[in-house]
Amino acid sequence: MQKKNLDIESNFKIREICLEDIDYILKIEQESHPDPWSRKMFENELKLDYSNFFIGNIKSEIVSYIIFWHVIDEAYLTNITVSKDYRKLGIGEKMLNFAIGISKSLEIKKMLLEVRENNLPAILFYKKHGFKETYIRKKYYSNSENAIVMERSL
Ligand SMILES: CC(C)(COP(=O)(O)OP(=O)(O)OC[C@H]1O[C@@H](n2cnc3c(N)ncnc32)[C@H](O)[C@@H]1OP(=O)(O)O)[C@@H](O)C(=O)NCCC(=O)NCCS
């Protein structure tokens, strides 16, 4: 099917993750990140009471997921990923806005994240949504790449 012809507005839904979804998430994760999260890491998120883990579906297909932590009055975005075939269709924006909406409703004041300094699509995505670069964590990733810390108020 031509993905761009899909009616995202009527077919896209966000729901909480369940254990059985992790197989699908792992496939998307592996094609999307140089240092993908393992099954154990995803499973662990389900046990953390401060972690929020949601998936985005088109019909029954999982096409995206987002994980964000609430720690006191800050939200920390630890993972946002859209399946390769469904990028640049506004799905990342829907996932992020969903996380921001939940966070605001809980009176969370700020959202923070780390992004690889070479991940230009993600950096542009975050800037488009009001995130500003605050500082650099030198050689943060296993390949020695720097992390840019970005944040925005909610
Ligand atoms: C970052 C990511 C979640 C964005 O999701 P998406 O659904 O493609 O994003 P949207 O369609 O909602 O937003 C598009 C905007 O994001 C930015 N963007 C996304 N991909 C881009 C690309 N390949 N080149 C340039 N800008 C890009 C632009 O600001 C774009 O807005 P524009 O079309 O007005 O220029 C997605 O690219 C992804 O899953 N990447 C791999 C995983 C990843 O890097 N996650 C972030 C880790 S910190």
Could you tell me how far CA 43 lies from the centroid of its own chain? 16
State if residue 89 touches ligand 1 by the CB under 6 angstroms criterion.
Answer: yes
State if residue 125 touches ligand 1 by the CB under 6 angstroms criterion.
Answer: yes
Position 7 confidence tier, pLDDT thresholds 50, 70, 90? confident
pLDDT tens for 51-102 read 999 999 999 999 999 999 999 999 999 999 999 999 999 999 999 999 999 9
Closest ligand 1 atom to 127 CA? 29
Cα–Cα distances in angstroms (integers) from residue 148 to residues 18, 31, 64, 66, in the given order: 31, 22, 23, 19
Query: Which residue's alpha carbon is at the smallest distance from atom 28 of ligand 1?
Result: 125
| Residue 9 pLDDT > 90 | no
Residue 16: which residues within 8 A CB-CB, separation 6 or more?
53, 54, 55
Per-residue 3-state assignment (H helix, E strand, C coil) for 42-60: HHHHCCCCCEEEEEEEECC
1 vs 58 pLDDT, higher one: 58
Ligand 1 centre and the CA of 117: distance in Å?
14
Answer yes or no: are the C-beta atoms of 107 and 154 closer than 8 Å.
Answer: no
DSSP 8-state assignment for residue 37: P
| Residue 109 pLDDT > 70 | yes
Closest ligand 1 atom to 77 CA? 48
Active-site positions? Answer: 114, 126
State if residue 128 touches ligand 1 by the CB under 6 angstroms criterion.
Answer: yes
- Domain borders along the chain are 3-110
Answer yes or no: are the C-beta atoms of 114 and 76 closer than 8 Å.
Answer: no
Q: Topology of 3-110 in CATH? A: Aminopeptidase (3.40.630)
State if residue 36 touches ligand 1 by the CB under 6 angstroms criterion.
Answer: no
